[in-house]
Amino acid sequence: MNISKIILISLSLAILSQLVQSIDFTEKDLSSDESLWDLYERWRSHHTVSRDLSEKQKRFNVFKENVKHIHKVNNMGKPYKLKLNRFGDMTNHEFRSTYGSKVKHCRMLHGGRSGTGGFMHEKTDNLPPSVDWRKKGAVTGVKDQGNCGSCWAFSAVVAVEGINKIKTNELVSLSEQELVDCETDNQGCNGGLMENAFEFIKKNGGLTTEIIYPYNAQDGSCDSSKMNSPVVMIDGHENVPENDENALMKAVANQPVSVGIDAGGSDLQFYSEGVFTGPCGTELDHGVAAVGYGTTIDGTKYWIVKNSWGPEWGEQGYIRMQRMVDAEEGLCGIAKEASYPIKLSSDNPKKVSLKDEL
């Protein structure tokens, strides 16, 4: 293949990638139901969303309200923007039910938090002004949980992948599906707690890779042959002191940390870019991971949070959330129930190189 053809293909793929990321609209699209219907059809085609005739009218009404909300918020001068993403014709209730981890419900089932009771990062001082574990090679690419409330598994895996990279210098993409299928203290696609995932990994002698036990976005029977091929081990987990953003900073300065947030608001559903400042509640319903923190040029402090809704959502799959707010639990409750895995050595059940993963 000659160079010109290679360049043409590369440009085509780049354009296609940009098209897939979002679909824009203008004031003209909002001018009438007819123009909004045309926008809805473009959105459905863009995201390959299939609806039967009876469902389309119902979904169009939801879509219309979502578009108006996005337009309204984007004209309010907030430090963040929204966009019309693949969740465009879902009600906020449907969105929460599908993509949340039901942290509060799971906490009621399991009672108090587990963990060693210590906080190994307590004496960390002279914190750097910014941290980004992505730049240190300790964060894998953004993943997509699909129509499964397994965010707890993705959150836990980010933290385990991170500490494994820090201790072994190997970045290995681990299996969320093993946790969904085999971790019986949680409820798979119906939600769970990150600390239960950490304890399962410890007791099981490790977690296998995403390649060995791939993700399929649904509950399944535990495949013991794959589960019995652990690749990355941990020694347990600790909880960050509750409602303390300073303590969370100390933990994140040392490793990626699993956090729960209230992700139920429409603004989070359609978040696109910027520092998210709310509104949001503090009823934890979604597991994500804090992989860094920083400060904007104008002085706004923020957390760097990795999500599991695919790279189209937010800032290539991430959200910057305002840090050090007045509420002691942090914005959207981010400081309420943070936890992280402990790994004391570079030992693993099986050494895996990056070549093996590729």
Sequence spans of domains, the chain: 22-77, 97-357
From the centroid of its chain, how far is CA 45? Answer: 26
CATH 3.90.70.10 fits 97-357, yes or no: yes
Residues 6+ apart with CB under 8 A from 32: none
Judged by DSSP in three states, 159 sits in helix
Strand, helix or coil for residue 215: coil
| Residue 232 DSSP label | B
Active-site residue set: 151, 286, 307
- Angstrom distance (rounded) from CA 316 to CA 111: 35
Decide if 210 contacts 176 (C-beta within 8 A).
yes
Locate 130 and state its tokens: 């910014």
- Write the CA distances from 132 to 61, 252, 254, 285, 286, integer angstroms: 41, 9, 11, 25, 22
User: Quick one: residue 209, left, alpha or beta (phi over 0 = left, psi -120 to 50 = alpha)?
Assistant: beta
pTM over 0.75: yes
How far is Cα 30 from Cα 36, in angstroms, rounded to an integer?
Answer: 6
Closest by CA to 177, choosing from 186, 188, 187, 185, is 188
Tell me the pLDDT of the chain (358 aa) as tens digits: 444 443 333 334 443 344 445 678 877 778 788 889 889 889 888 888 877 778 888 999 999 999 999 999 999 999 999 999 999 999 998 888 887 655 554 554 445 566 567 899 999 999 999 999 999 999 999 999 999 999 999 999 999 999 999 999 999 999 999 999 999 999 999 999 999 999 999 999 999 999 999 999 999 999 999 988 899 999 999 999 999 999 999 999 999 999 999 998 899 999 999 999 999 999 999 999 999 999 999 999 999 999 999 999 999 999 999 999 988 899 999 999 999 999 998 888 765 444 444 4
Which residue do the tokens 């696609």 mark? Answer: 189
Q: Provide the 3-class DSSP secondary structure of residue 107.
A: helix
